[in-house]
A and B are shown apart, each in its own frame.
Chain A
Amino acid sequence: MIDFLIKKIDWIDVEYWFYLLNDLSFVYIILPFFVVELIRYGFIKKLNKDVIFDSIANVITFGAFVIIEYILGILAITKVYFWMHYNFSLPHLPLNMVTIICCVLLADFAYYWDHRMMHRIGLGWATHTVHHSSEHFNMSVAYRFGPMDAIFPILFSLPIVMLGFDPILVLLSEVFVQVFQTLLHTEIIGKFPKPIEYIFNTPSHHRVHHGSNRQYWDKNYAGILIIWDRMLGTFEPEVEKVKYGISEPLKSNNPIKVFLHGISRLFRKIKSVKGIKNKMLVLVKPPDWEPKEY
């Protein structure tokens, strides 16, 4: 058993597994699921113009996100990650089952904190609100990204590189967590058996995360494992029917407006508060924070 866990694995095999799990999952799971969801919308007479335009806006924001991610990818992954790896890292870890599993778990934990930060600081929410602004909940919503959604994860994955993990493995693990997260955006699946719901993030837990019901705000940040939320005090089970969206609804399917509304709202808020200190605090305080004199 130990031998199996520590046996050196070739990169070609690791890349092949992640190719199957990350890249191809769009074809064999995400797209079929979305089609089933559309059929379901048809059956329950909810397949309307709004769902269609919302989904199109989601895909367009994803396109914009990919362009930003690609530019950042060249800069951050090939330069910053490797530079940190060679200059500020613990001894480099070999590639085996243990290091891969630990890296995925660390990437999942980093995702939790990245996600929590995006909800709890003004600058983070300015970009992440895009993802939450849809009033629907289906696989296409998973692709609804904000303009800075690619930047924040770098801050949280760099420490993993510094712990000795290979930068490419860290990147593949991050994508794996993101793909797992994508699969949770569905209303088709109710609840899984209790042990699964206890350990893993599930569609039920993630519906709560997308809820605009007051008790569901800032809950269930997890990527793969919901135990992070249970351990860090942010878990909330799905009880009341979830109402999707944000507290101040966007009411638009214009992709440009969808993509940039968080940033424009942030700028408006910065403009409205008095004093340089307060303006700076808007960026780092929670999104609902107001200066004392207000």
Chain B
Amino acid sequence: MKNSKLLFISILIIAVLAGTAHLFAGIESTGDTETPVFVPSPAIQEEEEQVQRQPETQQQKTNWELLEGKWEVMYKSDDFTGSIVYRISKDKNSMNAYTVKYIDENGDSLNSEKLVLIVKSFSGKSGKGTYKLEYEGKAYDIPCKVKMTDPNHFELSYSYYDYSDKETWTRITE
């Protein structure tokens, strides 16, 4: 068989296999096949309708306010043990979290201002966004979820390949 033919067939095989993988990678899974159906009680329905009747911007604005302010997260890892203080403020169409300062286990602190989290949607209880992580000098934008557990705490969860984590953000008033 001619070398050119061998090359052509080989490239075709590689293109089909790699192309298939990339094609399917672009399709988002709808998740579990059994989606739990939530039937709200009449009282909740009425409350929801009331919320829906409000102008969307007003409702969104109210939701955003729940996240606004300063938050602290404790970390314990090989890279860093201590806490980081963040500031969440409103941007045009999202809520952005910036680092304020790093406090290590000895109480020493280092000021910083870096964008780490962009919350793109937030219902008042849960939301979705992008968590900006750095690993081995490379930046990653990882899809994340935000879940408010009470007015002073929310959970930030994310999963990337084999690594997943959940952080608890606690509101601080300083």
Is the A/B pair a real complex?
A: yes
Residues in chain A within 8 A of chain B (CB atoms): 2-3, 5-8, 10-12, 86, 90-91, 93-96, 98-99, 102-103, 105-106, 109, 113, 159, 163-166, 228, 231-233
Please tell me if the beta carbons of B21 and A165 are within 8 angstroms of each other in the complex: yes
27 A-B pairs (CB sep. < 8 Å) = A3-B29, A6-B28, A6-B29, A7-B29, A8-B159, A86-B136, A86-B138, A93-B21, A93-B25, A94-B25, A94-B161, A96-B24, A96-B29, A98-B20, A98-B25, A99-B25, A102-B17, A102-B18, A105-B17, A106-B14, A109-B13, A159-B14, A163-B14, A163-B18, A164-B22, A231-B9, A232-B10
- Compute the total of residue contacts between A and B using a CB distance below 8 Å: 73
- A262 CB to nearest chain B CB (Å): 25
Residues of B that sit less than 8 Å from A by CB:
1, 6, 9-10, 13-14, 17-18, 20-22, 24-25, 27-31, 33, 136, 138, 159, 161-162
**Besides A12-B162, A164-B21, 17 other A-B contacts (C-beta < 8 A):** A5-B24, A7-B29, A7-B31, A8-B159, A90-B18, A91-B22, A93-B25, A94-B25, A96-B29, A99-B21, A106-B14, A109-B10, A164-B18, A164-B22, A165-B21, A231-B9, A232-B10
A10 to B159, CA, bound (A): 10
Q: At the interface, is chain A mostly helix, strand, loop or mixed? A: helix
Q: How far is the CA of A214 from the CA of B25 in the complex (A)?
A: 46
State A9–B74 Cα separation when bound (angstroms).
29
B29 touches A109 (CB 8 A): no
Q: Given the interface contacts A3-B30, A3-B33, A86-B138, does A11 sit within 8 Å of B161 by beta carbon?
A: yes
